[in-house]
Structure 1
Amino acid sequence: MANTVWHTKLRVYLDLIRDDLGHPELPDLWETVYRTDRLYAARGVPVAGRDLQCGGVCQEAGVEAWMHLRLRAGRREAVHEKAEDEERHTLPMSDEHKAYQERIVRVAEEDGFRADSEVRTRVGRSWIQTDTLVEGADGRRIGWEVQLSSAGVHGPRSVRARAAKAEKNGITPAWHTDRADYARRNDTQWTRSDNLPAYVIAKTGDLRVVSGFRALDFWRCDVRAVYPCPNGVRRCGRFHATPKPRDVLFDDLVRRTAAGTIVPVQFRVGGTTHRFWVTDADRDRHEALRSDDTQLPPVPEPDPSARASRNRPTCKPSLPALSAPAAGPELPAAGVPAQPAPTVAETAVQSRGGAQRGPHPALHPSGLPDQLVALQQTATDAHLQLQQLDDLEERDRQRRVWLEAAVVVQAAVTQYARSKGLNRYEVERRLRQVVRHPETQPGTPL
């Protein structure tokens, strides 16, 4: 229920607390509006056709929440049509919800994208309210909606309508939850992580998405196939694609949806349309397969940024303290494909006097290898230069330079932490402190 009602035809707000509804110039306004609403009800007009909307919390959230009027014990009341709109007035935003919003904004901005929470987008006479909106590459906009365990037993009932409205207005909907029953729905592309406390979600360690991302397995329907034919025949001899669940890191999902390398798809199986996320390469192969399933689509080049992480997940918040031996192994840029010319990061290491090949690389006063510090310094410098550019073409070029350097340093941190048996998150945090705040770092190793 609510006290403020918006009349869509009269274009006025009705304050039910006041006898004159806030409009002394309109005598008998309550009797007129109430009798009209009762007449609509007697004729079977649905609530959405009675010209009354919530003019308070729901309207501020950009949601069209339809209402009807009633009298209870002589008290005027406006009642929401949907229970989820009613809950919006009573359920405050949880700390976990805020932690997800802050994490999305932080990750997007670290990659050079713009992001903000509780964004209202004007659509005709109404609004679209987005939990967190990320302005990605090439004008791409990703609208993140977070629905956690506190959202109710049955979950939001207007997901499909809200997602369709967002898509119609150029916003790619991305709904995230920690509930398995929400994630099994097919009304939009749902992703799911484990149910975690707010302080764990807010960490910069690995937050794993366990549902909603798929890898497409392309195969020929012959006697050697391990999947049944989706056409219901024994073996048709054509090529098909089968989605297989894959884990992905939440931070990578935010970055790559904004960059366009992870995209939403609709995959039809029988009479059911499944909605999930795949890489853009799998999407392109699937579209090629749908146009001609007599040939197997070509395999794309491997994506170096799609490697799995071996870091401790954030669902294990109790982590041992960081401790490292005095010497560390040599740190090549593991997992980065070879190129004819040295990468930006490799050139930077050489110019900064990086560690020479050998069993005992030089150490920084912090106890970290010099080469690791040089790689992080290169990525940090590239990011600072990106923030100083205004020209779109120059920013796009510099962003690629920064991403290349970031991939190299992430691979090096991963290899170093794995070889020393350390928590990768702690190594990365200490490395960034050493580079960004060298004046505050002690001169003794870790």
Structure 2
Amino acid sequence: MANIVWHTKFQILLDLTKDDLDHPELPDLWETIYRTDRYYGQCGVRVQQRDLQCGGVCRDAGVEAWMHLRLRANGRREAVHERREDEARHTVPMSDEHKAYQERILRAAGEGGFRSDSEVRTRVGRSWIQTDTLVEGADGRRIGWEVQLSSVGSDGLRGVRARAAKAEKNGITPAWHTDRADYAQRHDTHWTRSNSLPAYVIARTGDLRVISGFRKLDFWRCDVHAVHPCPHGVRRCGKAHATPTPKDVLFDDLVRQTAAGTIVPIQFRTATKFHRFWVTSIDQDRYNDLLSDATALPPAKDDSTAPTRASHNRPTCRPELMATRLTPPALPTDQGVAMLPLVPTQPTVSPPEASTEPADRPTTPPEKNHSQHSGLEGRSGLPDTLITLQQEADNEHRKLQQLNGDEERTQQRLMWFKAANAAQSAVTRYARTKHLNRYEVEKELRRIVRGMGEPSDM
């Protein structure tokens, strides 16, 4: 049973504890709704079709719990749930883990000098907004923390976006935290996630790490030197882009910095959807500058929110351990010229200045297939044709940067794309033939070209 009922057709909340159901402008509202519900029952209409849902605990949890009305002999009005599990939701006490998270948010906010309270019920017109923990931040900022650790499946967790939108409309920034991976993968609001932990671990003062929901934005220009693929699906568009990368943050720092405004929610737009996560306010400003003008990289700003020292507290949870990799020993290199990673040793023709090298430098024994690699591969380990093609592509790009007219830039951009495509195709063929990592080959090629300086215009 519940005292608050949501009428789906009228879109209003009914408070059964009041004679006028909290709607004095609608006379005889109870008689109208109760007689309609009784009539539906006599006609055999299913409860799901009677327009009445639980407007209290079930609706706050995002669950559609259908109800019917009942009038006791003593005149008491009651709304009865159709299903027993919905009824049990009103009597099951809050879990210890949920209480521990509330206590931790209150403690973290208090240490940062912010006011906070749990189970805050805010009146909004004729309805309410109930927040697990509400933190009063700086400059009138209000952060509404919702901890979702229930056993409801990801398909049954409904109404999250509606609740978050309602909170935002009334000046509350929603912050939903969970320990379930399926909840954290949703994009209906800004979710954060920590590992599943017992209540006594959550409540203690160790470092509780947030492993999902906070990200860092990498800003880069989409040219032949870029590592990330173009988000528009083209080869290289020449514009500036931003790529989010996961980053860990401590839960206590997240509570305090969201209240202070140094960590803010963001909606990151991709080609198919909006992704919602948390970033620093500096990254948000740079991203807004990028959206207003994608032709230039937004200026880098000093990030003063980064911690200056490591925490001395014991961690309460750790990110999932990754498989360790053995680091290969460092290979001998020439002075000022690094060897290409993962490139097998190739026989080379001794250069004329070989006599000036140290006498104890290991030499490469000759191989039978020496004739296949003679002349093309120098001390860098890459063919001269790759270096020439990359220099030509870089030269075309420098010409583009020196032009101002739109028509000239359009023609020069096509020439740059053509030269860059030839260089990239040659790198792909070389890496496939040698059975090498293409990324490592391209990285080494660009390092060599940069070390040789800017080529002259041809």
Smaller-chain TM-score bracket: 0.5 to 0.7
- Please give the alpha-carbon distance, in whole angstroms, between the structure 2 residues aligned to 1:228 and 1:55: 48
Q: Distance in 1 between matches of 2:34 and 2:137?
A: 51
- 1:77 Cα offset (Å): 7.5
Cα displacement (A) at 1:69: 2.7
d(CA) in 2 for partners of 1:10, 1:137: 33
| Aligned position for 1:222 | 223
Residues 294 and 156 from structure 1, CA distance in 2 versus in 1: closer, same or farther, beyond 3 angstroms? same
- 1:172-321 paired onto structure 2 within 5 Å: 172-307=173-308, 309=310, 311=312, 312-315=314-317
For 2:229, give the aligned amino acid: P
Q: Contact (CA 8 Å) 1:221, 1:238: kept in 2 or not?
A: yes
1:114 Cα offset (Å): 0.4
Alpha-carbon contact 1:62-1:128 (below 8 Å) kept = no
| C-alpha distance in 1 between matches for 2:259 and 2:208 | 18
> What SS is found at the alignment partner of 1:211?
coil
Q: Which residue is equivalent to 2:142?
A: 141
Give secondary structure in 1 for the equivalent of 2:317.
coil
Please give the alpha-carbon distance, in whole angstroms, between the structure 1 residues aligned to 2:162 and 2:6: 22
Residue 177 of structure 2 aligns to a residue whose secondary structure is: strand
Name whichever of 213-222 and 33-42 sits farther off: 33-42
CA offset at residue 37 of structure 1? 4.0
Q: C-alpha distance in 2, partners of 1:141/1:10? A: 25
Letter in 2 for 1:128: I
- Partner residue, 2:446: none
Runs of at least 5 residues in structure 1 that lack an aligned partner in the other structure: 16-24, 317-446
CA offsets 1:356-415 (integer angstroms, 9 cap, x no match): xxxxxxxxxxxxxxxxxxxxxxxxxxxxxxxxxxxxxxxxxxxxxxxxxxxxxxxxxxxx
1:54 positional shift: 3.2
Residues 13 and 245 from structure 1, CA distance in 2 versus in 1: closer, same or farther, beyond 3 angstroms? Answer: same
Deviation digits for residues 50-104 of structure 1, max 9, x if unmatched?
Answer: 3x34376558x69896634399xxxx983369x9965632542110100000010
Aligned 8 A contact 1:62 1:129 in 2? no
For residues 304-352 of structure 1, the C-alpha deviation after alignment (integer angstroms, 9 at most, x for no partner) is 5445745531127xxxxxxxxxxxxxxxxxxxxxxxxxxxxxxxxxxxx
Contact 1:248–1:308 (8 Å) recurs in 2: no
Partner of 2:16 in structure 1?
13
SS at match of 2:315: coil
* Closer, same or farther: CA 125–291 of 1 in aligned 2, 3 Å: same
CA distance in 2 between counterparts of 1:40 and 1:241 reads: 60
CA root-mean-square deviation: 3.7
Q: Which residue of 1 aligns with 2:415?
A: none
Counterpart AA for 2:317: C
Corresponding residue number in structure 2 for 1:335: none
1:34 is matched with which residue? 37
What are structure 2's unaligned runs of at least 5 residues? 19-27, 71-77, 319-458
Give me the whole-angstrom Cα distance separating, in 2, the residues matched to 1:182 and 1:105.
23
Contact 2:154/2:183 (8 A) holds in 1: no
Checking the alignment, whether the CA contact within 8 Å between 2:63 and 2:158 is kept in structure 1 is no
Q: Is the Cα–Cα contact under 8 Å of residues 264 and 277 in structure 1 kept in the other structure?
A: yes
TM-superposition CA deviations, 1:190-230 (whole Å, max 9, x none): 00001111111111111000000000000010111111111
Amino acid at match of 2:199: A
Question: Hey, what's the Cα distance between the residues in 2 that align with 1:31 and 1:130?
Answer: 31
Q: Counterpart of 2:102?
A: 101
Amino acid at match of 2:316: T
CA distance in 1, matches of 2:43, 2:162: 24
Alpha carbons of 1:106 and 1:308: their partners in 2 closer, same or farther (altered >3 Å)?
same
Q: What are the within-5 Å matches in structure 2 for residues 423-438 of structure 1?
A: none
Kept after mapping to 2: 8 A contact 1:63/1:127 = no
Note the alpha carbon deviations across 1:155-212, whole angstroms, 9 max, x for none. 5211101000000000000000001111000000000001111111111111000000
- Aligned positions of 1:297-446 closer than 5 A: 297-307=298-308, 309=310, 311=312, 312-315=314-317
- The CA deviation at 1:27 is 12
Contact 1:65/1:85 (CA < 8 Å) preserved in 2?
A: no
TM-score between both structures, scaled by the size of structure 2: 0.57
Say if 1:208 and 1:308 are closer, same or farther in 2 by CA, change over 3 A.
farther
Matched, 1:69 2:72: no
Deviation (angstroms), 1:260: 0.3
Q: Give, as a single letter, the amino acid of the residue that structure 2 aligns with 1:172.
A: T
Identity over aligned residues, as a percent?
63
In structure 2, give the amino acid aligned to 1:32.
Answer: R
Which AA in structure 2 matches 1:54?
Answer: C
AA of the residue aligned to 2:54: C
Instruction: Give the deviation of 1:272 after TM superposition.
Output: 1.3
| 1:35 shift after superposition | 3.7
| In 2, Cα distance between equivalents of 1:108 and 1:230 | 39
Q: Which residue of 2 aligns with 1:54?
A: 54
What CA distance in whole angstroms lies between the structure 1 residues aligned with 2:196 and 2:61?
Answer: 28
CA distance in 1, matches of 2:294, 2:81: 53
Distance change in 2, residues 1:160/1:84 (3 Å): farther
1:157 aligns with 2:164: no
Distance 2:238 2:56 in 1: 59
CA distance in 1, matches of 2:120, 2:30: 38
Q: Which amino acid aligns with 1:139?
A: G
* Displacement after TM superposition at 1:131 (Å): 0.2
Larger radius of gyration: 2
Q: How far is the alpha carbon of 1:274 from its aligned partner?
A: 0.5
Distance of 1:274 and 1:250 partners within structure 2: 21
Contact kept? 2:101, 2:202, Cα under 8 Å: yes
